[in-house]
């Protein structure tokens, strides 16, 4: 066994074992980093270099959008604007099979355009809409599936804190990665709506027609909440993505603009109370602190892998077997899907990026195309039984009458649609690269 293979087994194998036995992600990588720095970077001088690298990793300016994107979603939820958006969407959708499930998908897509947290979107939609759907006779599978599925799409549609994290750790352009997720995210949302309509037409018992299918609001009363709440909320998304797409602002400037616009919007609706601001800031600090602590371990992990020779050794081994670029990419996607069954999305990035990105660079693979497929795989991981994060979130907000078996069965068609999207992006890279290619 060569020196680099020993380092690879120690660093990659050790971190994987610690994650599988339940150690927190940040502590896992810090523990492995301390051992790796001592063994491969010269003992005490290596530990000093580890400390310097850790500080520089979390003070990088490219990470600034993360807390700002998270703040946008926190303000949306704590000020009650999310409830108003649901009302605006619900009034517009009538005489559609599975109406409330469709409302959940459309409202969730709107939230995805302003919230940086998949968990927050799922928890909010689950607590607000799930009891209503169940009370009106919706089957638990039809009630829970769309909410979890659209919560996962939040990762693809900007603003997304995990997309910024992926871009920062991989070296892929953050602005192009953010814009690249828009079209796949919209395609998935439309596919979910079509699936709900077709499925309920085939099996009407899954979502019985409710009394609200006869419009109670006509004329301006029906459209007023849309123009008052939904359209202004979506305008923030338009400003953020438009500024990115036309090159008018950096991702950090766009995040600051989006956070400011969200606060101004909440203030105009007289929803921006001191209590709401404090809850939003506390939530932002908790989520951002967790992410930055993980970045601290991840960045130095990649450095130690490179310094020990493990990164170069693995790249040469993989590329030296005569496999085609397409086969290697397929293998990387399959590994990500497999990891998604067992570990969370940040752990997936930590384990794979130090190996995958040198391969991407060595083979000349389009990094934006690869990055968008990476995002879709992470989105899949949120929904894959038994440990999908959004499955656990739904279990937390669902009543006892909804079993874990119902939740597992509910996500199956949405997982299949996500796999089909991944396949489409693989064979038609333009789905991921066309919009980023228009960036000014």
Round to whole Å and give the CA distance between 42 and 175.
38
Quote the pLDDT of residue 19. 67
Distance between CA atoms of residues 101 and 139, nearest Å: 11
Write down the pLDDT at residue 116. 61
How far is residue 303 from each of residues 26, 91, 307, measured CA to CA in Å?
Answer: 16, 53, 6
Nearest to 161 by CA among 111, 123, 122, 115: 115
Q: Is 230 exposed, middle or buried, given 0-12, 13-18 or 19+ CB atoms closer than 10 A? A: buried
In angstroms, rounded to a whole number, what is the distance separating the alpha carbons of residues 303 and 252?
Answer: 25
Mean pLDDT by 10 residues, the chain (440 residues): 68 74 73 81 77 70 77 82 80 84 88 71 80 88 91 84 84 89 93 94 86 58 82 84 79 86 88 88 80 69 69 68 85 84 73 85 92 93 79 80 87 94 96 84
The radius of gyration of the chain from alpha carbons, rounded to an integer in Å, stands at 22
**Closest-CA residue to 76 (of 279, 311, 375):** 279
Domain region containing 358: 3-437
Domain count of the fold of the chain = 1
Separation of alpha carbons 354 and 359, rounded Å: 9
Q: Residue 1: what pLDDT?
A: 42
Q: What pLDDT score was predicted for residue 214?
A: 46
Start-to-end C-alpha separation, the chain: 49
| Residue 302, pLDDT score | 66
Phi-psi bin for 173: left (phi > 0), alpha (psi -120 to 50), beta?
beta
pLDDT for res 419: 95
């Amino acid at each position: 066994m060569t020196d680099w293979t020993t380092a690879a087994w120690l660093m990659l194998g050790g971190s994987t074992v610690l994650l599988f036995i339940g150690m927190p992600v940040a502590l896992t990588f810090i523990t492995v980093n301390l051992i790796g720095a001592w063994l491969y970077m010269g003992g005490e001088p290596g530990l000093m270099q580890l400390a310097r690298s850790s500080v520089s990793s979390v003070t990088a300016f490219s990470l600034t959008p993360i807390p700002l994107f998270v703040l946008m979603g926190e303000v949306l939820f704590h000020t009650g604007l999310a409830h108003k958006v649901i009302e605006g969407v619900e009034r517009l959708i009538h005489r559609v099979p599975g109406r409330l499930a469709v409302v959940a998908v459309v409202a969730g897509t709107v939230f995805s355009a302003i919230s940086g947290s998949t968990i927050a979107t799922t928890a909010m939609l689950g607590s607000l809409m799930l009891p209503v759907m169940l009370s009106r006779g919706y089957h638990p599978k039809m009630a829970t599936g769309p909410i979890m599925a659209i919560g996962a799409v939040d990762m693809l549609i900007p603003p997304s804190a995990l997309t910024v994290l992926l871009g920062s750790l991989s070296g892929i352009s953050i602005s192009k990665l953010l814009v690249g997720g828009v079209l796949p995210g919209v395609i998935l949302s439309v596919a979910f709506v079509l699936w709900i309509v077709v499925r309920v037409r085939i099996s009407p018992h899954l979502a019985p027609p409710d009394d609200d299918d006869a419009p109670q609001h006509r004329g301006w009363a029906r459209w007023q909440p849309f123009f008052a709440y939904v359209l202004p909320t979506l305008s923030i998304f338009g400003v953020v993505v438009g500024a990115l797409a036309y090159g008018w602002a950096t991702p950090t400037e766009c995040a600051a603009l989006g956070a400011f616009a969200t606060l101004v919007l909440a203030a105009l609706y007289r929803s921006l109370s001191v209590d709401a601001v404090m809850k939003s800031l506390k939530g932002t600090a908790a989520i951002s602190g967790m992410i930055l602590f993980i970045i601290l371990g991840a960045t130095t992990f990649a450095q130690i892998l490179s310094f020990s020779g493990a990164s170069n050794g693995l790249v040469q081994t993989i590329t030296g077997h005569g496999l085609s670029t397409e086969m290697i990419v397929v293998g990387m996607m399959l590994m990500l899907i497999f990891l998604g069954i067992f570990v969370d999305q940040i752990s997936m990035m930590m384990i794979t990026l130090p190996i995958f990105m040198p391969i991407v660079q060595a083979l000349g693979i389009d990094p934006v195309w690869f990055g968008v497929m990476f995002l879709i795989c992470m989105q899949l991981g949120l929904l894959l039984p038994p440990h999908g994060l959004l499955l656990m979130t739904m279990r937390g907000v669902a009543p006892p009458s909804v079993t874990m078996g119902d939740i597992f069965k509910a996500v199956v068609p949405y997982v299949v649609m996500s796999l089909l999207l991944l396949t489409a992006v693989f064979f038609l890279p333009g789905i991921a690269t066309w919009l980023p290619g228009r960036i000014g």
